[in-house]
Structure 1
Amino acid sequence: MGSAWRRVGGSVALLSLAVLVLVVGVMSARGFRGAVEREREFRAAPMCVSVPVKPSGCRWEQDFTVRKADLHRGRRVTPEAELSLPSGALWTVTFPRTEPVLSEMAPGENAVGLIWHGQIVEVRDAEGRLQQTSAGPAGGPEDRLSGALACIPFGLITLVAGLWSLVAPRNRRHARATAVVWWHGVGIGVAALLTSWAQAANDWPMWAIPAVWAPFALLLLASMVAFVMAALRGDFEDTSSSPTTDAPAPPPSTV
């Protein structure tokens, strides 16, 4: 009885994970279009002809002095910096990562911030290195696309695995097939994340993400089908300890 409840609990956990991941994937897919439009607006925005007195759609480069740069290494806190205007007003800026500008910042150094819609979206140091802040629009569509490609297929496959495990919870072949389905779903999700990393590292165009990911996903799906069929046939069962039907019967006793 306890074993059956554990199997049901595992199925419920798989279904819960599938729903959570699918929600994240759908949100990423829905935000993809907005991220594309925001990046296009930023790329097309002209430079401001004068200092904007309120948040504006034009871009303005402002000189700052670094007051503090906190990398927050080893802590789950977003890296940030405090930048000071010539008037003394402070701007706190967060970054998604520490490289290449934030890690080199020191108090008293000069920096140039690119302001758009009232936010610092990029920071350039005295050596010309450029880093996007957490408010920057560049790269947003790629992140949303990779999130959708990683989460939606993985969530759907996990949902199938969870439902399948409920069909025959005591059937070992079904259990093995469920494991095969789930691990291939993990592989498809990881392939999307690795493709996104490669695209960002090599500065590929955004369409390279689905173009590179799709062949790997198809190969993994084909592998999943083949292994599931093998599991259902019982190809993975260990029959070495089972008696064979072709073994000769023992001789009758003469006593």
Structure 2
Amino acid sequence: MSSSLNTVLRRHTRSIIVLLFSTALIAIVVGHVRAAILDGNRELHAYEAAQPCSAAPESPADCIWQQEFTVTDIYLTNARNKDNSAVLIAEDGTERETYFSSKGPVLLKVDEGGQVTGTLWRGRITEISAHGTTQETTDAPTDVIGGSLAFALVTGPPALLVMVTCVWRLIRHAEPKPTRGMAATLGLAGGLFLAGLFAALMVDASFERFGVLLAVWAGLAALAAVTVYITATYKEAAPGAGTDENN
């Protein structure tokens, strides 16, 4: 295995620090999933079951109200760390800056000064619609459980393997350097982390599609495990091995 992996476990103090970090990460993952399961998708279900308001609500309400807005200051970006945005102006002149995780379809079709219909729920604009298309805002309720399970899948298994490797190293502290198995386990942790990231990018992180996400992750994880095993068991041929003795 690479010397960089061995360096992580070579010093006992470094192993302890990494162990504490991985343990804290596992605690965060467990707490995050626990909170999501207890709270569930309560807000999402409430939004989906909400009925139309009989009149324009004067304060945040659990019913759904649709209102016309004029769109200005449309900002579209390809940056992953920034949201697309637009300013929605109500008939009374109230301006509301609204954010979107994607460019379309509505923002791509509407022009500055164009009209959109906004859906309001609990005082938040959850989506806009125009030209027969609808686009959710970042204030729309989301699938909390699906996102939490995806987060656990990406971070949980790698953190657990790192923690096991550190404990393994501390138990065998008398050895001058980490064993090949320790380095392989740490390498597998990195492979599982990448497998989780790729799986989360390939499959929508919703509760309904978590089975598909898990299947994709399992396939990528198996590929990572095989790669790590081959790398860990590979031995370079000794100098001169396989050459003609007469040469």
Q: TM-score range by the shorter chain?
A: 0.7 to 0.9
**Residue among 58, 62, 67 paired with 2:63:** 58
Kindly report which structure 2 residues correspond to 1:94-113, keeping only aligned pairs within 5 A, or say none: 94-113=99-118
Q: Provide the residue aligned with 1:227 in structure 2.
A: 229
Q: Contact (CA 8 Å) 2:191, 2:224: kept in 1 or not?
A: no
1:144 aligns with 2:148: yes
1:155 aligns with 2:153: no
Change (3 A) 1:28 1:206: farther
Q: Provide the residue aligned with 1:249 in structure 2.
A: none
Q: Provide the residue aligned with 1:196 in structure 2.
A: 200
Q: Deviations over 1:64-119 (max 9, x none)?
A: 11121223555844332210001110111122333433344432011121111111
Tell me the distance in 2 between the aligned counterparts of 1:218 and 1:194: 10
Q: Runs of 5+ in structure 2 lacking a partner?
A: 1-6, 242-247
My pick for the range that moved more, 113-122 or 73-82, is 73-82
Q: Runs of 5+ in structure 1 lacking a partner?
A: 244-255
Q: Contact (CA 8 Å) 1:100, 1:130: kept in 2 or not?
A: yes
1:44 aligns with 2:49: yes
Q: Provide the residue aligned with 1:253 in structure 2.
A: none
Which AA in structure 2 matches 1:240?
A
Tell me the distance in 2 between the aligned counterparts of 1:199 and 1:137: 19
The CA RMSD measured in Å over matched residues stands at 3.7
- Bigger CA radius of gyration: 1
Q: Contact (CA 8 Å) 2:9, 2:166: kept in 1 or not?
A: no
Tell me the distance in 1 between the aligned counterparts of 2:208 and 2:135: 19
SS of match in other structure, 1:108: coil
1:118 aligns with 2:123: yes
Tell me the distance in 1 between the aligned counterparts of 2:220 and 2:76: 37
Number of residue pairs matched by the alignment: 233
Change (3 A) 1:11 1:56: same
Change (3 A) 1:39 1:237: same
Q: Provide the residue aligned with 1:250 in structure 2.
A: none
